[in-house]
A and B are shown apart, each in its own frame.
Chain A
Amino acid sequence: METAVVVVIGADKPGIVAGISSKLAEKNVNIVDISQTVLRGIFSMIMIVDLDTGHVSVGQLREELQRRGKELGVEVLVFHGEVFKFMERI
């Protein structure tokens, strides 16, 4: 499975999860893991998504999600899953 890690950070408000996940759904990208917290009004979410099901490259997905993030007023970071596998697993 080719995965990407999506990180979303910003001031909490309604619609952030919906805004990001609807974009993923639009691109047929499946969410395989998700964790989300709000600490002192700061929203943070980490998602692992499966790129195999989608019809989009990581670069395009990053561009689309960052555009959506701008509309929502949050910061979106997208990295390839291999980066985490290489750095956090031996």
Chain B
Amino acid sequence: MKYSAEEIAEVINMLTHEDLDIRSVTLSINTLFAVSDVPERTLEKLSLLRPVLSRFSEVVNSVQDKLGVNIVTRRVAVSPVQYFLEPYPDVKYAVKLGGFLDSLATDTGIDYIGGFSAYADRGIGRGTQVMLEGLAETMNSTSRLSGMLNAASTQEGLNVDAVKLFTAQLLKMSPHASSRVAIMANSPQDSPFVPSAHHGRGMPNSSINIAVSGPGVVAGAIRRARPTTFQELYEVIKKASFKVTRLGELVGRVVSEELGVPMGSVDLSLAPSPKVGDSVAEIIEAMGISRVGGHGSLTALAILMDAVKKGGSMATNLVGGLSSAFIPVSEDSIMAMRMREGYLELNDLLAMSAVCNSGIDMVGVPRDEGPEKIAALILDVLSLGLMLNKIVGVRVIPVEGKPGEEMDLGGLLGKVVVAKMKDVDSSQFTSRNGFIPTPVKRLELG
């Protein structure tokens, strides 16, 4: 096949200068074969995964070498631990199980293992209860394990009791531990991103799910094309997004073929990283909002989201995960800078969540603000998911710090900026127990 020099130069430029890479290749695997009422038996059966994970890790390395494309992380998504804890609901066992999964990842060269997770949209089952009670201890004693609590869904409601239990645990976590947990609404079953990754219901026994990166490609394309109409702007983003997603589809297909595991889905999300030139906020600013957070940011993000979906969906056989524009503050150097400078506040992020699926992600909150206020913030995000039938999540990092200060978590996690929370007491509101019933949108489904 012949290519013009311009075509080759374009691809090379994306891969070398615009930081286009594969954020993650995620092996999603059904681990329910190991469920047992004898904890030792479960761990023994889970050990059978060791050679599978090692082989997966090797295959991803060889595909990276073959294609010449950087694959940043190798991840594994396992069945939610809530099911493992049902027949033996014990907090100590929950902690032990989490530690075992963590060591499985460390031993086999896996960067993250996702699935210390549970669903509690309307009520808290036995397994979920002990998973939640052991969440802080588990996360504080691990380094590669990630977990998610789905506390709301448009079909089931929003479980305020679960939000409060989660928040109490969150406040006992170290910043590193809290960066590996999220609370969500309408969690997808096939996310390749942590902390949402877990092997969801109704999935085949195993599949390969892909997360792409590449905000630099979209920002670069906008800067070069200088579109004068909104239609042209759409077109530029759609084309760039197609190419970014296409690379994910290729890597997924090659890994799937070499590993003998079916290809799952590609998450269209443009994941940023703290590196300069790998920022979603930079795209918004390249569109002409001089500082993200300024008026017009929501429209710019809405255009970006919609165009990314339209361009990206044509590049893959199956769209999955969150497929959104991620705006994790610490992981995006420009988002973090604008928050420090005061252009971005929590309510701006909340508004942005209405047009993208990110929610409030990787934002520091002062630990001394207390559980009621943090739970109220989480409820605000999850309510958007509940009412709009959207995937959203919250990953806040409680830190000992004042608003505007920052804490460096290192690597992909970046520098967490402490956000200012409203100086308003909402505790009377959140003191109620129970769950918020399903919204009118539920009735559209039957």
Contacts and interface: CB of A to CB of B under 8 A. Distances in A.
Nearest to A86: B250
Interface in B33-81: 62, 65-69
Contacts of A46: 5, 8-9
Nearest to B15: A79
A87 B68 contact: no
A3 interface: yes
Interface in A31-51: 33, 35, 46, 48
Contacts of B5: 35, 46
A58 B254 CA distance: 14
B8 A33 contact: no
A55 to B, nearest CB: 16
A5 B16 CA distance: 14
Given A7-B12, A77-B16, A88-B7, A83 B1 contact: no
Contacts of B15: 79, 83
B68 A33 contact: no
Interface size bracket, A side:
20 to 34
Contact of A88 (B3, B62, B254): B3
A79 B11 CA distance: 10
B2 interface: yes
Contacts of B7: 84, 88
B164 interface: no
B66 A80 contact: yes
Contacts of A89: 1
B69 A83 contact: yes
A43 to B, nearest CB: 14
Nearest to B64: A59
Contacts of B67: 58, 79-80, 82-83
B289 to A, nearest CB: 29
Interface of B is mostly: helix
A71 to B, nearest CB: 21
A73 interface: no
B249 interface: yes
B243 interface: yes
A78 to B, nearest CB: 6
Contact of B250 (A7, A57, A62, A83): A83
Contacts of B250: 82-83, 86-87
A81 interface: yes
Contacts of A57: 65-66
Q: Which residue, of A5, A35, A80, has the highest number of chain B Cβ atoms within 10 A? A: A80
A85 B7 CA distance: 10
A59 B11 CA distance: 19
A86 B8 CA distance: 12
Contacts of A62: 65, 68
A35 B249 CA distance: 29
B246 interface: yes
Contacts of A48: 2-3
A58 B68 CA distance: 8
Contact of A87 (B2, B16, B243): B243
Contacts of B14: 87
A80 B68 contact: yes
Given A58-B65, A84-B3, A77 B247 contact: no
Contacts of A80: 66-68
Nearest to A57: B66
Contacts of B10: 88
Contacts of B65: 57-59, 62
Interface in B63-122: 65-69
B1 A5 contact: no
Interface of B: 1-3, 5, 7-12, 14-16, 62, 65-69, 243, 246-247, 249-250, 254
23 contacts: A3-B1, A5-B3, A5-B8, A7-B8, A33-B2, A57-B66, A62-B68, A77-B12, A77-B16, A78-B68, A79-B15, A79-B69, A80-B67, A82-B254, A83-B11, A83-B250, A84-B1, A84-B3, A86-B247, A86-B249, A87-B11, A87-B247, A88-B10
Complex A-B, nearest 9 residue pairs according to Cβ-Cβ distance, in ascending order = A59-B65, A79-B68, A86-B250, A80-B67, A88-B7, A87-B243, A86-B246, A58-B66, A87-B246
Given A3-B1, A59-B62, A84-B7, 14 more contacts: A5-B8, A7-B8, A46-B5, A48-B2, A62-B68, A79-B69, A80-B68, A83-B67, A84-B3, A86-B250, A87-B11, A88-B3, A88-B7, A88-B243
